[in-house]
A and B are shown apart, each in its own frame.
Chain A
């Protein structure tokens, strides 16, 4: 065994993974139900004015975090460890790719919101 033990950075990814897990269980199904079922089937009404108001509120930021960013990191973590279990060798490349994509998706979602909000 090596003498110098380096602290793992895993707590960070594990924290994002756990947060994303909760979001996947709670907010993602709620969002899917709301946006993909309840609205198109007309079970609930959402006027254009209401939608614009919601888009400009703090809830939009929460939505991006809870339905896109954290679940993206959750998925990235699973993919990374899944590939490791499948004995993929380039571990640090996989790590960069997985979390990099999650980060890019989060920045893209947040950025698009910010741009449309400011315009």
Chain B
């Protein structure tokens, strides 16, 4: 078996005053993912190493790290991909506060997700009982389906320079999810979501860098969602002007 040098940014608050990079030699073959490498280090070399993971199949979104400087899911990239580079540096996701080793505090992201009301909002006053099935044609579903694949991994936040500058920015993932519900024919909550989307901290903090869409492991294309949301917000502003004139 070949081995590779894997360097990991460590931070144990009880030991370190600031993060340090430690180096490990890890045996690997063609099927060794970065997450496998972390598991092997934890089992064989240093049990104090802390990181999040669960599914091992790129669906739970918990194993996001900066791998050689790029936001990636640890279970979706393999050591063989870095064999040519010869070295691997694993750091916690950028733009989030580090709690311990590779574990970051995602609270800000969670708050933004919560704020955009990522669920179907249905006016109850229109006589539709909650038991009525919400019918939808395939064409109606097509409109939002791409934006519904988000696994809340936060890679797009680590990629977004605007979120890095201002953590109050709602950010790509949450805005994509807001857009997903705004486009859903069963939803009636757009008016409730628009004020936040149209605020300074909403879609308008985005300067269309586009890196979020590049790193998204689910091909959600949050940049497209954010920029479609800008168009909605601009329309909303114009409509508001006319409404006030009446």
Contact of B199 among A5, A14, A81 (CB under 8 A): A5
> How many angstroms between the C-alpha atoms of A1 and B237 in the bound complex?
22
- On whether the beta carbons of B199 and A1 are closer than 8 Å, the reply is no
Which of chain A's residues have a CB closer than 8 A to the CB of B196? 5
Task: Kindly identify which residue among A7, A11, A85, A87 contacts B207, using a CB–CB cutoff of 8 Å.
Answer: A85
Is B168's CB under 8 angstroms from A1's CB? yes
Please measure, in the bound complex, the distance between the C-alpha atom of A30 and the C-alpha atom of B201, giving whole angstroms.
Answer: 38
Given A5, A11, A81, A87, which contacts B234 in the complex, CB threshold below 8 Å? A11
Q: Residue on A with the closest CB to B200?
A: A8
Question: A87 to B199, alpha carbons, bound, how many Å?
Answer: 21
Is A15 located at the chain interface by the 8 A CB criterion? Answer: yes
How does the 8 Å CB contact mask read for B167-202 relative to A, with 1 for contact and 0 for none?
010000000000000000000000000011011111
Range for the number of chain B residues in contact with chain A: 20 to 34
Assess whether A8 is in contact with B161, with CB atoms less than 8 Å apart.
Answer: no
Residues in B with CB closer than 8 Å to A84 are 165
Considering only residues 219-241 of chain B, those with a C-beta below 8 Å from chain A are 230, 233-234, 237-238, 240
Known: A1-B111, A5-B195. A10 touches B200 (CB 8 A): yes
Chain A residues within an 8 Å CB radius of B240: 7
| Given A81-B207, A85-B207; A8-B165 close (CB under 8 Å) | no
Which residues between 18 and 43 of chain A lie within 8 Å of chain B, taking CB atoms? none
Identity of the chain B residue whose Cβ is nearest the Cβ of A81 in the assembled complex: B207
Say yes or no: A8 contacts B199, CB within 8 Å. Answer: yes
Chain A 74-118 interface 0/1 with B at a Cβ cutoff of 8 Å (1 = within): 000000010011010000000000000000000000000000000
Interface centre among A5, A15, A84 (most CB of B within 10 A): A5
> If A10-B204, A85-B161 touch, does A1 touch B115 (CB 8 Å cutoff)?
yes
In whole angstroms, how far apart are the Cα atoms of A90 and B121 in the complex? Answer: 40
Q: Which residues of A contact B165 (CB under 8 A)?
A: 84-85, 87
Contacts of A48 in B (CB 8 A): none
B86 to chain A, nearest CB (A): 33
Measured between beta carbons, the chain B residues less than 8 angstroms from A7 are 195, 198-199, 237, 240
Which chain A residues lie closer than 8 Å to B204 at the CB level?
8, 10-11, 14
CB distance from A11 to the nearest CB of B (A): 4
- Nearest A residue to B234 via CB reads A11
B198 contacts across to A, CB distance below 8 A: 7-8, 11
**How far is it, in angstroms, between the C-alpha of A8 and the C-alpha of B206 when the chains are bound?**
12
Do B234 and A15 touch across chains, with their CB atoms under 8 A apart? yes
Query: Complex formed: what's the CA distance from A11 to B239 in Å?
Result: 12
**Chain A residue contacts of B233, Cβ below 8 A:** 8, 11
Query: Cα distance A14–B233 when bound, in Å?
Result: 11
Q: CB-CB < 8 A to B161: which residues of A? A: 85
Would you give the 0/1 interface string for B23-65, flagging 1 where the beta carbon is closer than 8 Å to chain A? 0000000000000000000000000000000000000000000
Contacts of B234 in A (CB 8 A): 11, 14-15
* Interface residues of A, Cβ cutoff 8 Å to B: 1, 5-8, 10-11, 14-15, 81, 84-85, 87
Task: Beyond the given A1-B112, A8-B200, A14-B204, please list 11 additional residue pairs across the A-B interface where CB-CB is below 8 A.
Answer: A1-B111, A1-B115, A5-B196, A7-B199, A8-B198, A8-B204, A10-B200, A11-B204, A11-B230, A11-B237, A14-B234
